[in-house]
Amino acid sequence: MALYSRVSGFVGLITLQNPPVNALSAAVRQGIVDMVERALGDPNVKSVVICGQNGNFCGGADIKEFGTNMSGPPLVPMIDAIEAANKPVVAAIEGSALGGGLELALGCHYRIAHSKARLGLPEVTLGLLPAAGGTQRLPRLVGVPAALNLITTGRHVTATQALQLGIVDQVTDHNAVDVAVKFSLSVAGQSLDARRISTYPCPLPSDSDALFEGVMQKVRQRAHGAIAPVACVQAVRAAATLPYSKGMEREQELMATLFTSGQARAQQYCFFAQRAVGRWRMPSGARWDTSKPRPVHKAAVIGLGTMGRGITVALAQTGLSVVAVETQEKQLMEAKQAVSGMLERGAKRHGVAPTLDRISYSQNIHAVAEVDLVIEAVFEDMALKTEVFQQLSAVCKPGTLLCTNTSALDVDKLASKMPNPELVVGMHFFAPAHVMKLLEVVYGPRSSPQAVATAMQLGKKMGKVSVAVGNCRGFVGNRMLMPYLQQAFFLLEEGATPELVDRALEEFGFPMGVFRMSDLSGLDVGWRVRKRDELVEPDMASGQSARIRQGSRYSPLGDLLCEQGRFGQKTGRGWYQYDKPGSRVARSDPWLHSFLVEYRARHGLVPRSIDQQEVLERCLYALINEGFRILEDGIAAGPEDIDVIYVFGYGWPKHRGGPMFYAGMVGLAKVLERLEHYQQAHPDVPYLQPCSLLRRLVASGSPPIHRWREAIKKRQSQL
């Protein structure tokens, strides 16, 4: 709703009230309509100020209302009525003015922002466009290039940036409402003709066609199949080429298409899923709201390889004191330089001073004696990690939390060797650790809820989307990757090429297909793991038996490439060829194609034609099937956890909502039917055996994704 009061004698103050972000729910919209009418009709009121309760202007339309029968006054006429008012209306912006919130402010005649306020039109991130006049007013106010940039990226700007762009008229360090009230009185009675943005001509650059085409090309490239960014460009183009009223019609038309698209649903699901994972719970019943994190003022990182350096940077950027330990002198010197460089570049980008003095470096593990939390990031080797952990437990003060950065090792096994296993958790960072948004916080049966709460809170402080997951091989993300990779290898054996597989996945929306990704991360990484698992057999014989390991179908293709020294980009050869080692542009490699032909012949494999549909079904449904197993095993608490991991850590396209959401969109019955089909064709592939949770969900009528948790809980309580 909206509150009304008269202040300073002559100012009608309208306060949006809908905690926590004053979203424009039906009640708030109705409140605004009513209170604006009241203020304009009151002869004692000379000017109007609109603000939000609790120092927060407005977080935009109420996303929870989307997908319901939306009632209440629509936004566009409400904002038009404000703009048409004959008394000055001033927006007092504190906290955030986002989406419909900023559009509301753009309908006001003046905008005054607090210096800490943030403004933006993030609709594109929800699969929408700013359809309350945002695509028509913003370019008229700030020009086409700036409007295109803000609307197609959805990025937020600071109040100072907004002032520079011309979005706000004034920035203040004082109470923005008080300043707005005073200001509104100072302009009362003045003509408002020049303050109505919809009446402005849209300033056009000389070569606007070239501008729009260039932007459209870039936007399409970045969008990976998402339709909202493209519609945003089309709407701004309408602002530049059509009169305001026609532009508005175009904006509404484009919005209607987006609003009902599955992509918008997927992106809005991601918005809420990202927040839902913060409300973690463990199978023991421990949960986010009953587990108190320990304060962390000082942290340490052990091992300054690539991961350790990124973690050090991410910790220092949160404002913590960091002790960075590396026993090898040369590596320590190199790390010091690299970390300083990363911090300086990051600080320059954000226009702040680098935080170099927060880090102290040492070759001696005793330097960590006083820290509250340690993140060990040494080489991925259980014996080495165990040795480091034993040293740590002897050196650290009592109660220090011991975190291992591992992508696959058994966190509980490591914990079991410690005197205080409850203090041990896994923190699986993704490379580069100071850039990638995802963090898997891995708990074992011995990890205390407080340890999990502390790691989750630290992840949040580091700007990560942190997801608490149980301990199993590969945790959630890498465990699901195994069947995906395996299917990709099998498809090559059966007749596909890396180009075909990658094209299918990239057209689906992944920024990189599986083989280009493998070339980037290095084929040797998986090879080392397979060797450790005793799956790799040197120079195997030919025929079918050579492709069976530990009782299941196995493809040695990756091993064979590694034996040739083809590790991917770093060696200039992998599934593709590169101009030189380290080069990033993948080119088709005739050698690889001949190698596949020869390989198939040697193993008696008759290549067949494989289409993109089969690639998607085999790779994605196998991955999804493992996701259901993970839910069934209680490794992830709900499908949102899996989806957030895949969207933020593995490049799953947000406009497809994550693998589990996607399965729901495709239809669980269809996913099950295709898995059964492929399992019949490949009975020697356990990953294609449909998971019993999937079968049960289908048998119970394929409930919507927000009801899966109930089905899982019910099942677990029956066991």
Answer yes or no whether residue 23 interacts with ligand LOW37U6P by CB under 6 A: yes
Answer yes or no whether residue 20 interacts with ligand LOW37U6P by CB under 6 A: yes
Is the CB of 25 or the CB of 486 nearer to ligand LOW37U6P?
Answer: 25
String marking each residue 575-614 x if it binds ligand LOW37U6P according to CB under 6 A: ----------------------------------------
Evaluate whether 401 touches 372 at the Cβ level (below 8 Å). Answer: yes
Evaluate whether 140 touches 195 at the Cβ level (below 8 Å). Answer: no
Is the CB of 128 or the CB of 165 nearer to ligand LOW37U6P?
Answer: 128
Is the CB of 254 or the CB of 491 nearer to ligand LOW37U6P?
Answer: 254
Is the CB of 132 or the CB of 377 nearer to ligand LOW37U6P?
Answer: 132
Secondary structure letter of residue 636 according to DSSP: S
> Minimum CB separation from ligand LOW37U6P for residue 115, in Å?
17
> Minimum CB separation from ligand LOW37U6P for residue 128, in Å?
6
Answer yes or no whether residue 379 interacts with ligand LOW37U6P by CB under 6 A: no
Evaluate whether 100 touches 132 at the Cβ level (below 8 Å). Answer: yes
Out of 53, 96, 184, 263, which residue is the one contacting ligand LOW37U6P (CB under 6 A)? 96
Answer yes or no whether residue 235 interacts with ligand LOW37U6P by CB under 6 A: no
Q: How far is CA 206 from CA 144, 240, 426, 601, in A?
A: 11, 12, 56, 61
Out of 92, 131, 425, 504, which residue is the one contacting ligand LOW37U6P (CB under 6 A)? 131
Catalytic residue among 83, 94, 103, 376: 103
Answer yes or no whether residue 688 interacts with ligand LOW37U6P by CB under 6 A: no
Residues 242-261, interacting with ligand LOW37U6P (CB under 6 A): 255-256, 259
At which residue do the structure tokens 């919507």 appear? 704
Residue 57 to residue 54: CA distance in whole angstroms: 8
> Minimum CB separation from ligand LOW37U6P for residue 58, in Å?
8
Answer yes or no whether residue 123 interacts with ligand LOW37U6P by CB under 6 A: yes
> Minimum CB separation from ligand LOW37U6P for residue 706, in Å?
13
Residue 296 to residue 266: CA distance in whole angstroms: 36
Out of 21, 202, 311, 342, which residue is the one contacting ligand LOW37U6P (CB under 6 A)? 21
The piece of 126-134, 157-165, 460-468, 670-678 that touches ligand LOW37U6P (CB under 6 A) is: 126-134
> Among 434, 383, 428, 369, which Cα is nearest to 404's?
428
Find out whether the peptide bond into 432 is cis, omega within 30 degrees of 0.
Answer: yes
Q: What is the three-class DSSP state of 285? A: coil
Residue 450 to residue 454: CA distance in whole angstroms: 6
Residue 408 to residue 410: CA distance in whole angstroms: 7
Residue 577 to residue 588: CA distance in whole angstroms: 6
Is the CB of 27 or the CB of 546 nearer to ligand LOW37U6P?
Answer: 27
Token pair for 171:
């920035």
> Minimum CB separation from ligand LOW37U6P for residue 690, in Å?
32
Answer yes or no whether residue 100 interacts with ligand LOW37U6P by CB under 6 A: yes
Is the CB of 24 or the CB of 610 nearer to ligand LOW37U6P?
Answer: 24
Residues 56-75, interacting with ligand LOW37U6P (CB under 6 A): 59-64, 75
Is the CB of 61 or the CB of 324 nearer to ligand LOW37U6P?
Answer: 61
Which residue type, as a one-letter code, is found at position 684? D
> Minimum CB separation from ligand LOW37U6P for residue 155, in Å?
11
123 catalytic per annotation = yes
The alpha carbon torsion through 247, 253, 258, 262 (nearest 10 deg) reads -170
Secondary structure letter of residue 24 according to DSSP: B
Q: At what angle do helices 477-494 and 590-602 cross, to 10 degrees?
A: 80
Distant-in-sequence, close-in-space partners of 37: CB < 8 Å, separation ≥ 6: none
> Minimum CB separation from ligand LOW37U6P for residue 255, in Å?
5
Evaluate whether 140 touches 197 at the Cβ level (below 8 Å). Answer: yes
Out of 222, 275, 593, 602, which residue is the one contacting ligand LOW37U6P (CB under 6 A)? 275
Answer yes or no whether residue 126 interacts with ligand LOW37U6P by CB under 6 A: yes
Which residue type, as a one-letter code, is found at position 207? D
Evaluate whether 691 touches 676 at the Cβ level (below 8 Å). Answer: no
Answer yes or no whether residue 272 interacts with ligand LOW37U6P by CB under 6 A: yes
Answer yes or no whether residue 509 interacts with ligand LOW37U6P by CB under 6 A: no
Q: For strand 359-362 and strand 401-404, is the pairing parallel, antiparallel, or unpaired?
A: unpaired
Token pair for 468:
């608490």
103 catalytic per annotation = yes
Catalytic residue among 123, 494, 499, 640: 123
Q: How far is CA 382 from CA 257, 371, 388, 532, 703, in A?
A: 53, 23, 10, 11, 42
Evaluate whether 571 touches 581 at the Cβ level (below 8 Å). Answer: yes
Residue 160 to residue 144: CA distance in whole angstroms: 20
Answer yes or no whether residue 132 interacts with ligand LOW37U6P by CB under 6 A: yes
> Among 628, 615, 709, which Cα is nearest to 662's?
628
Which residue type, as a one-letter code, is found at position 491? L
The piece of 118-126, 208-216, 223-231, 586-594 that touches ligand LOW37U6P (CB under 6 A) is: 118-126
> Minimum CB separation from ligand LOW37U6P for residue 268, in Å?
9
Count the site residues for ligand LOW37U6P by CB under 6 A. 25
41: number of Cβ within 10 Å: 9
> Minimum CB separation from ligand LOW37U6P for residue 269, in Å?
12
| Contact set with ligand LOW37U6P (CB under 6 A) | 20-21, 23, 59-64, 75, 96, 98-100, 122-123, 126, 128, 131-132, 255-256, 259, 272, 275
Where in the sequence numbering do the catalytic residues fall? 103, 123
